[in-house]
């Protein structure tokens, strides 16, 4: 029969595993609960945006055009173009 204080390593290891599991769970919850990005229409009022050709390959920039602005102040692109943030 084992006596108390015999130097068993089981409880500290169990506590360490529990702490790692709780930390991992907290990290996963915080990653999933992050706030979503604002719509690009709102971002373009403060940062430079361009309209890029949707048919151009991802490594080609195509012929970027400046966005058009609607009467309500929202930017939009002509047909065949998509609104994207500029790299500037």
Name the domain count of the chain: 1
In a domain, 81, yes or no: yes
CB contact set of 20 (below 8 Å; sequence gap of 6+): none
In a domain, 33, yes or no: no
Domain interval for residue 66:
40-85
In a domain, 52, yes or no: yes
The continuous run of DSSP H or E covering 51 comes out as: strand 49-53
In a domain, 78, yes or no: yes
Task: Write out the chain's pLDDT in tens, 88 residues.
Answer: 555 555 555 567 767 778 887 877 777 766 666 566 566 777 888 888 999 888 877 777 678 889 999 998 889 999 989 888 887 6
In a domain, 74, yes or no: yes
In 3D space, the residue among 60, 38, 51, 53 whose CA is nearest the CA of residue 83 turns out to be 51
In a domain, 72, yes or no: yes
In a domain, 64, yes or no: yes
Q: Using CA atoms, how far apart are residues 82 and 27, in angstroms rounded to an integer?
A: 34
Burial class (CB in 10 A: 0-12, 13-18, 19+), 34: exposed
């Amino acid at each position: 029969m084992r006596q108390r204080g015999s130097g068993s390593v089981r409880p500290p290891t169990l506590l360490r595993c529990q702490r790692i599991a709780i930390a991992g769970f907290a990290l996963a919850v915080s990653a999933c609960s992050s706030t979503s990005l604002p719509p690009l229409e709102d971002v373009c009022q403060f940062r430079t945006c361009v309209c890029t050709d949707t048919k151009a390959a991802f490594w080609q920039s195509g012929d970027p055009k400046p966005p058009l602005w609607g009467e309500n102040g929202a930017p939009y692109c002509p047909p065949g173009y998509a609104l994207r943030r500029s790299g500037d």
